[in-house]
Amino acid sequence: MLAKQAGRFGVQTVALASQPDRDQLRSKLPDEVQILAGADAMTELIALTKPDMLLSGVVGSAGLAPTLEAIKCGATPAIANKETLVMAGELVMDAAANAGLEVIPVDSEHSAIHQCLRSGRREEVSRVVITASGGALRDWPDSRLPSATVGDTLNHPTWDMGTKITIDSATLINKALEVVEAHWLFGLSSEQIGVVLHPQSVIHSYVEFYDGSVIAQMGQPDMTLPIAYALSHPDRMRRQVPHLDLPATGKLTFRACEGRFARAVNLGYEAIDRGGLSGAVLNGANEAAVEAFMAGEISFSRIVPIVEETLAETPETGQVTLEALLEADGWARRHVNNIAGVKQAQPQTG
């Protein structure tokens, strides 16, 4: 598929994480197409091509270095990789501000907030509310969760997403990460960010202004909309899409995050209030716990408690630097593996 895309769009340089994949791709591309490979290939690709915009959809902390490199070369960062802002929101937003660049959110929830904010001034915002589908296990009783398999968690009722984010949706840690992301993207305190369960996934988020007006962004659960919005911002791309048929949709329902859902979401508020290295620890711990679950090392029901325990032991730091954040990320992964009894540290996702 990558070879077909490169040929269709006349791409001159591509990047892969794996050297063996590079050898396989080489035979499918013209000799003049350059192929980069290895752990730093994405960052090298950006430094070499100097794009106008970087749309980062890579999963996990692996998206951080390419995002910082994009800002360094003056590319507008469009971020679907929530882990980058959770881990290093302060560094990324400061770097973008210093470069005179706006960070464009691609996560459907934050794209929704970004669109709603065009209805008023930032200082007029009372709060934002992020909606959550509740994931594949939304209606499971707590007593059944220890038996949940990876296949169970990937059976998402409304969204078609990657493996890691779909598991995060089932634990609802994805909303903890999105709370932190909203904090950095929009300059909001933890008290100004709410989360509600909305099983139909039609309202993606809404913004309440201090006069009582509430502006919501609605649409089908389809990532092509926020991607198109980011790529064409500040204009809107004319797209051939079906109209939103609310009568056919029927009821739109909402309920508060309680019990295990609240426990997961509260990790995001705790990371904001703790500050320092907490975002990096939250993200690294969650990635390691999800990897342990996928490897069969822990049950689904242990993911949130393990992340919670790790976040509570976040190391102190004098200054938030990239080096300190990366060290905290590594510490969190090792800590989770020790708790989970993983015999060998799991590889970092990316």
Q: Where are the alpha helices (DSSP H) in the chain?
A: 2-9, 19-26, 41-49, 64-72, 82-98, 108-116, 150-153, 163-171, 173-186, 224-232, 246-249, 260-274, 278-294, 303-312, 322-340
Crossing angle (nearest 10°) for helices 108-116 and 224-232? 50
Buried b (16+ CB within 10 A) or exposed e, 70-98: bbeeebbbbbbbbbbbbbbbebbbebbee
pLDDT in the model for residue 350: 43
Chain CA centroid to CA 288, Å: 15
Helix (H) or strand (E) holding 131: strand 125-132
pLDDT in the model for residue 264: 97
pLDDT digits (tens, 9 = 90+) for 195-215: 999 999 999 999 999 999 999
For residue 302, what are its two tokens? 């242990």
Q: Using CA atoms, how far apart are residues 14 and 172, in angstroms rounded to an integer?
A: 34
Q: Within the chain, which residues score under 70 in pLDDT?
A: 343-350
pTM: 0.90
The answer to whether 190 and 246 are in contact (CB under 8 A) is no
For residue 59, what are its two tokens? 């999963």
C-alpha distance from residue 271 to each of 71, 208, 338 (Å): 25, 24, 22
201 three-state secondary structure = coil
Q: Are strands 125-132 and 193-197 parallel, antiparallel or unpaired?
A: parallel
